[in-house]
Amino acid sequence: MYVVKSPLPEADLKTVSEALQGALVDLVDLSLVAKQIHWNIVGPRFRSIHLQLDEVVATARTHSDTVAERAATLGVSPDGRAGTVSATSGIGKVPDGWVKDTDAVGTLVDALGAVITRMRQRVRSTAEPDPVSQDIFIGITADLEKHHWMFQAEHG
């Protein structure tokens, strides 16, 4: 079986692979959280928030694929399995059942905030060992911060 070998030194690869795996898990979970709320939101602002949640899902899914492919490029097997996501995500619990529109917005503000905090740590940790991965994290962070801003404005 062919195994992809990384050009990075072993210590750098360890740092970068941990950052990529953590980002993958957070992005997969963010897409699941946003979709769960998308299906269960109720209230007067249902439609606008419902559509806004789909934008978060699309962003998270696109970036999770980029992150997973970067890991594979470096010879690291990405792990997006449900058990791994559940055990290692930095996002808190999502409410069960129907979610009032104002609570949905608050949940997304919190979830995005948690992922952004961890993503910024990844930006710092990969600066020296792999600027290519760092660049990916910078782009992801910018996109997530835009969603975070929009949901905060919605939360008013």
pLDDT in tens, 120-136: 999 999 999 999 999 99
Give the separation between CA 56 and CA 10, rounded to whole angstroms.
34
Residues 6+ apart with CB under 8 A from 34: 53, 54, 56, 57, 60, 108, 111
Token couple for 72? 């594979």
Q: Is the pLDDT of residue 70 over 80?
A: yes
Q: Residue 100 is encoded by which pair of tokens?
A: 């009032």
Beta bridge partners of 42: 100
**pLDDT of 86 above 90:** yes
Q: From CA 57, how far away is CA 95, in angstroms rounded?
A: 18
Q: Tell me, what's the pLDDT at 1?
A: 47
pLDDT of residue 28: 98
Cα separation, 131 vs 137, in Å, equals 10
Please report where in the chains the tokens 């941990």 appear, as a residue: 18
Confidence (pLDDT) at 4: 85
State the pLDDT confidence band at 2, using cuts at 50, 70 and 90: low
Mean pLDDT of all residues in 49-72: 98
